[in-house]
Structure 1
Amino acid sequence: MAVTTTNLTQGPADIYTAPFGATEPADTAINTAPSASAWTDMGGTMDGIELEITQEYKELVVDQIVDIPARRMTKREATLKTKLAEPTLERLSWALNGATGGVTTGSGFESLEPDDSSAATQPTYSAVMLDGYAPGGLRRRIIARKVLNVEGVKFAYKKEDQTVYEVGLATHYVSPSIKPFKIVDEVDA
């Protein structure tokens, strides 16, 4: 088996966020930063950014065959996990899926209060974009179009550890014509 060493990939990704439904950069703009007016750079991360796509399948069976003749997908979920290394209140508000009113500023202070609306109200979805590396040393862009942080936000103050916000973002259905996520690789022209 031959190995194409240029397909080996390593390196960090930048993470950006925008409101759900924000205009996405064109596929041809893969090697440029997204518009700062629409997308917010979330700064540094720690221990990378992990994308996991899980798929569940239901077996189709018949009495006449002992083997499983087929399967159909019944569920798919893509999740992004990272640790935001710049623990500002703006990033905490985003990690809490848009705390009520966001961050309040005043003379010499900022404050944040959590959302306490009922379970019947719609949460604040956002979009996430990762800009990392693809095979060949080129760029890869992953756009998760409708996400919520579905895991608890953890952060600690410890003598020997850096304070970070741990988040776990789950993608959600958008529409029949707009898929929950998209992956674009730059290729040699």
Structure 2
Amino acid sequence: MADTAGLQPGNLVMGPARLYIYRFAFDPTLAYEPALTDVNLAPAASAWYDTGITLGGTDVSVESKWTPLTGDQLVDKLGARLTDRDIKVTGNLSEMTRTNLAYAWNMTAGPTGANYAVSDLNAGQTANRAPYRTLMVDGLGPDVTDGSRSLKRRAILRKALPSGNTKLSWTKTDQQVLAIEFQTFFVSETVSPIRIIDEA
């Protein structure tokens, strides 16, 4: 990656990412995270579910709100403090599997039979205690300095819940996609809610 001054075409990035969801509930020890040196390798399928084909891109967004510090004697803002932050993953899943739907809607597997399989939304008093999930977005980053190949960039969102408006929509002329949004939450004072790893 070229961080030097001047025009660096190798720093331009284009291309889709792969979205993975950790198959098990969030673990605050983070022991399941792939090693930093494995940034260019697909994660183990036994632990990470590959959501498959997407349509329209996968976004990792950070929205920060800064509240200004002011004073009666001055017209200018004196500074600011970060008072709110939203970290999200959004995208459209094109593979309309029951597993993708279960993760997007926080559903559990119900009964199955010879010609059917059931998924249910969680209900009852404990429906407000959904399991937190960890998401991993594997995409491209800037090229190596000599431009010989693109390096990988991985984003791990450590503690997330499905949020936003998701729907199944059947239309005559449009391919069906499952819109997803996962909101990330506080982990601890020493663990960032999101980690970005660049291959070097």
Which residue of structure 1 lines up, in the alignment, with residue 84 of structure 2?
A: 75
Partner of 1:55 in structure 2?
A: 64
Shift of residue 51 of structure 1? 1.4
Provide the residue aligned with 1:176 in structure 2.
189
TM-score, L = length of structure 2: 0.87
1:88-167 aligned at under 5 Å gives the runs 88-97=97-106, 99=107, 101-102=108-109, 104-118=111-125, 121-136=128-143, 137-167=150-180
Aligned pair 1:86/2:92, yes or no? no
| Structure 1 contact 90–103 (Cα < 8 Å) conserved | no
After superposing on structure 2, the runs of 4+ consecutive aligned residues of structure 1 that deviate more than 4 Å are none
How far is the alpha carbon of 1:178 from its aligned partner? 1.6
Q: Check whether the contact 1:77–1:171 (CA below 8 A) recurs between aligned residues.
A: yes
Q: Which runs of 5+ in 2 are unaligned?
A: 144-149
How many Å apart are 1:144 and its aligned residue? 0.5
Which residue identity is paired with 1:91? Answer: N
What's the CA shift string for 1:94-116, capped at 9, x where partnerless? 1112x2x3254322321111111
- Of the structure 1 ranges 40-49 and 115-124, higher mean CA displacement relative to structure 2 is found in 115-124
Conservation of the 8 A alpha-carbon contact between 1:132 and 1:141: yes
Tell me which residue corresponds to 2:146: none
Change in Cα spacing, 1:118 to 1:107, as seen in structure 2 (3 Å) is same
AA aligned opposite 1:27: L
Cα pair 1:90 1:102 within 8 Å, conserved? no
RMSD over aligned CA atoms reads 1.6
Percent identical among aligned pairs is: 34
Give the whole-Å Cα distance in 2 for the aligned partners of 1:170 and 1:103: 26
Change (3 A) 1:104 1:12: farther
The runs of 5 or more residues in structure 1 that have no matched partner are: none
Question: Does the C-alpha gap of structure 1 residues 41 and 75 become closer, same or farther in structure 2, counting only changes over 3 Å?
Answer: same
Shift of 1:182: 0.6
